[in-house]
Chain A
Amino acid sequence: MKKTPLSFLSSLKLTFTLLLIIAIASILGTVIPQEYEGGESFSHLSPGLVKAFNSLQLFDMYHSVWFIILMCLLSLNLIVCSVNRFPTSWRLFRKVPSLDRSKPFEDLSPDRVLVIERRLNEVIARVENLVRRRYKRVRRSDTANTTLFQGEKGAYSHFGVYIIHLSILIFILGEIIGSLFGFNAFVNLPEGEFTSTVYLRRQRGIKKLDFTVRCDKFSIAYYDNGMPKEYRSDLSFLKNNKAIYQGPLLVNHPITFDGIKFYQASYGSVPGGQAYITIKKANERQSSIAVKLKDSFYLKEKDARVTISRIEENLMDMGPAVLLKIQSPQGNMRLWVFKDIEKIKEDIPDLFQKVPKFNPGLLKPYYFKLNSIETKYYTGLQVSHDPGASIVAIGAFFIIIGLIITFFSSHKRLWVRLDEKDHRTRIMVGARSNRDPVGLKRETEYLLRHLKKQG
């Protein structure tokens, strides 16, 4: 073969080189943290190294220019190699094995020869039957004292390799289509809220959806031992303020709406905007009230108006707290009311001297107490659209078919020659196969056994 650029592109040497580079690159990728996976852990690398890695796009390696070039080369390699060798395979597939009387029987080992004490025309029908049953495209040629059968099967096995290689191209195509026309985004949605904007992971932008998704409820079910059993978001999908679809979203059971898939990816909690506080007045019945953010109420004795200006789930690591804004003729003040005030005071005995606005009894004769704040869940949704996925699935289907054809079939060709001499028939069985010599041997032995039985 001449050394041309094409022969380089089709060579297995190139394949090995590319596979080796891809393998090494992938190993690097598992060691170097990749950006979109969080990327928080560059800190232990020296700045120079970070810069070098950055310029080589090592932090987003699988989308870097050089990785894409590698993939293109690999595809080119596969295409050129397949185009080059396809005509040969096609010829092998179409070629009718020769009806040559002698060549297939050269160097035939003695156990492939059988002598039967009968005349040729007594055995021939049964031989023909057997051969036709086991092989396709059987041909027969007769001369004076000789009959030759020739058959073959499994010619399609030459195409297994192309199917495998084609499916690898299909994978690459699917991946390209997915990254060009698909997206991968997320959104955190508190219960009761809705959105039509999601945040793209890789491109770091936002994406507007043509519809609105609302989280009606998020819930977790636990096993007896405390492990989570089910994460469930009840979602509604709305268009023009009309709910078109409502249903539960579970892990492993995505919802597809308008071609976009929603996955249950994470969850968390946010303050629910409601707090329960108790207001005590010396020697008076205490009253507990539920308040929302921006709510306000009036305290007669001090002529004060109290507004809830913040509700915090965990203020400065001291637990739940609400901020009261108190307006009265004596002046305005702010008061943080903690739920765990007793415990905080134990840790810092002189807290109220230091920070008067943490003192729940500051507005005498009133005393405030925070009973609880309501938190609500938000659900973390993975939102994605991947038009390449179904192409990849087709590739997966074909690669399995291709592997099975390549490894479990072989092109077998058979020649059976019968000669009559002195009222006896000599049967010779010759066989060839492009692969799988063991299977071929088993097959010929089976034939010979059956032929012997007939004799």
Chain B
Amino acid sequence: MVINTTILSWVTFIYLASSIFYIFRMVTGRAFWGPFASYIALAGLIAQSFALILRWVESYKLGIGHAPLSNLYESLIFFAWSIVLLYLIVEWRIKSRNLGAFVIPFAFLFMAYASFSPDVSSRIQPLIPALQSNWLISHVITCFIGYAAFTIACGLGFMYLLKGLGKGRGPRPFLRSLPDREILDELAYHSVVIGFIFLTLGIITGSVWAYSAWGSYWSWDPKETWSLITWLIYAAMLHSRFVRDWRGKRMAIMSIIGFASVLFTYFGVNYLPGLHSYF
């Protein structure tokens, strides 16, 4: 095994450890475990960044240099990396660690899928002609930053609903420790906004790439169509907030539905009939 993939499979376990600490901290309500969770996640992020750079350098040594953003394996890794990065920024901004239990596990899952699924090849492969485009790099980066923001919104949605569970019956201690629902709602909204802008950028850069590679900026292939559906779902969500002032539970559910659509755009489309998939 090559060094970068070895490091990356270790990072998987680092994120697992971090997830466990975050969840343990939340369930026991002992803030003591929080810093462990955060620092482990940070260590994982640093190791992962290092591995990504290593992989990049390695591809140049192989004479097929390109940014590590070109196949399913690399995109999954980058997805997880964006999630952890964005999450740690949010954690640092809002000074609360509760969200970690809902977000870092996603990073772990994507890493685990990349590292251990037999369907995902971790080899560094040269770029076929269609993928040799800077637009593609900007496309992947913007899309996955957007997806990461949607992941965070989805984690917040789950948290919101969970907090709601504690209302009627005797409040459980760990539910009480979660941030107020207004704050969760506001945060989810901001995440969706960031995600929406990046998704828009991602669709645009993807269209520019398609235009330069295939001569048509939009051809209704399943991946494009599903990214449009995802975009419409989030657009509908933003409108219902702007115009109808919907908040709270409905928004939480919509951010979960939106994320399901993101996942389908990313994974599910490959199971639809025919046509080119990019990865």
Contact = CB atoms under 8 A, between A and B. Distances in A.
A263 interface: yes
Interface string B176-199: 000000000010000001001100
Given A12-B243, A23-B229, A33-B273, A251 B213 contact: yes
A26 B272 CA distance: 13
A229 B217 CA distance: 24
A62 interface: yes
Contact of B211 (A19, A231, A389): A389
B201 A34 contact: no
B129 interface: yes
Interface string A216-230: 000000011101111
B274 A41 contact: yes
A420 interface: no
Interface string B234-246: 0110011001100
A396 B207 contact: yes
A184 interface: yes
A403 B192 CA distance: 13
B214 A30 contact: no
B95 to A, nearest CB: 14
Contacts of A27: 225, 229
B216 A184 contact: yes
Contacts of B186: 438
B133 A38 contact: no
A384 interface: yes
A407 interface: yes
A251 B211 CA distance: 11
B276 to A, nearest CB: 10
Given A227-B125, A252-B132, A252-B133, A26 B214 contact: no
B214 A389 contact: no
Contact of B215 (A30, A37, A184, A228): A184
A16 interface: yes
Nearest to B62: A224
Nearest to B244: A12
Contacts of A225: 125-126
B89 interface: no
A58 to B, nearest CB: 13
B213 A34 contact: no
Interface in A1-52: 12, 15-16, 19, 22-23, 26-27, 29-31, 33-34, 37-38, 41
Interface string A258-290: 000101110000000000000000000000000
Contact of A230 (B129, B197, B207, B244): B129
A25 to B, nearest CB: 10
B278 interface: no
B32 interface: no
Contact of B233 (A23, A31, A252): A23
Contacts of B225: 26-27, 29-30
Interface residues of B, number: 47
A41 B193 CA distance: 40
Nearest to A224: B63
B53 interface: no
B75 to A, nearest CB: 18
Nearest to B268: A30
Interface string B212-238: 111111101110011011001101100
Contacts of A22: 232
Contact of A403 (B196, B222, B236, B274): B196
Contacts of B211: 389
Contact of A384 (B215, B222, B273): B215
B214 A382 contact: yes
Contact of A34 (B133, B220, B228): B220
Most buried by A among B201, B269, B272, B274: B274
A223 B64 contact: yes
Contacts of A250: 129
B90 to A, nearest CB: 14
Interface string A428-444: 00000000001000000
Contact of A400 (B125, B201, B232): B201
A386 interface: yes
B9 interface: no
Nearest to B275: A37
A38 B274 CA distance: 10
B128 interface: yes
Contacts of A229: 126, 128-129
A393 B211 CA distance: 11
A31 B272 contact: yes
A253 interface: yes
Contacts of B122: none
B214 A265 contact: yes
A16 B217 CA distance: 26
A247 to B, nearest CB: 16
B215 A252 contact: no
A254 interface: yes
A228 B217 contact: no
A209 to B, nearest CB: 15
B138 interface: no
A12 B239 contact: yes
Contact of B212 (A37, A62, A253): A253
A19 B236 contact: yes
A225 B128 CA distance: 12
A394 B219 CA distance: 19
Interface string A379-407: 00011101001001100100110011001
8 contacts: A12-B240, A22-B232, A26-B226, A30-B222, A34-B220, A175-B218, A392-B207, A392-B217
Interface of B: 63-64, 125-126, 128-130, 132-133, 186, 193, 196-197, 200-201, 204, 207-209, 211-218, 220-222, 225-226, 228-229, 232-233, 235-236, 239-240, 243-244, 269, 272-275
Given A30-B269, A37-B274, A251-B129, 7 more contacts: A12-B244, A26-B220, A30-B226, A252-B213, A384-B216, A389-B211, A396-B204
Which 3 residue pairs spanning A and B have beta carbons closest together?
A251-B129, A30-B222, A263-B215
